[in-house]
Amino acid sequence: MTTQAHRGEILVRALQAAVRGDRTMLATLYTDDIKAWTPAQSASSAAELLGELDRRDDTFTDIELDVTPLDVAGDYACAEWSVAMTHSGDLALRDTEIVPATGVRVTINGVTIAEFEGDRICALRQYWDELAVYEQLGLVGDDSAD
């Protein structure tokens, strides 16, 4: 039987592996039929979720993750995290709009909730403010306050 503390550790390992793009580790931590949702994507299988790692580019590099498990109860674990990264490649806003690398270091704060089936994650939900990156890069904000 998987302990609650162990589930918190599994969630932290999964978040770290996702940042590193470690497909092998994630495949051992996710069930094959995992359901996942984030503000940027959703997936209905481990293959689909792992496929998202292949679509990553070099827009942001020097990624640092800080994770704090918050609560583990029953089949659920929750963790709060912060990701700091450097804008080091072109950022595509729309088909025709590209923001060249700025070198700006940005931080995103969020939370992840994982549901477990035994000692593997079968459902995953992540929440963060998508506009936070754009604000830190100076792409959105109130510049009409004169």
pLDDT at 140: 85
Mean pLDDT for the chain?
Answer: 89
The predicted model scores a pTM of 0.86
List the domains of the chain with CATH numbers. Answer: 4-136 (3.10.450.50)
> For the residues 77-88, what does the mean pLDDT come to?
96
pLDDT in tens, 60-70: 999 999 999 88
Q: What percentage of residues in the chain have a pLDDT greater than 70?
A: 94
pLDDT in tens, 22-58: 999 999 999 999 999 998 889 999 999 888 887 778 8
Amino acid (one-letter) located at 50? L
Question: Which parts of the chain are beta strand (E)?
Answer: 30-37, 42-43, 60-73, 76-87, 91-92, 98-99, 105-117, 120-128
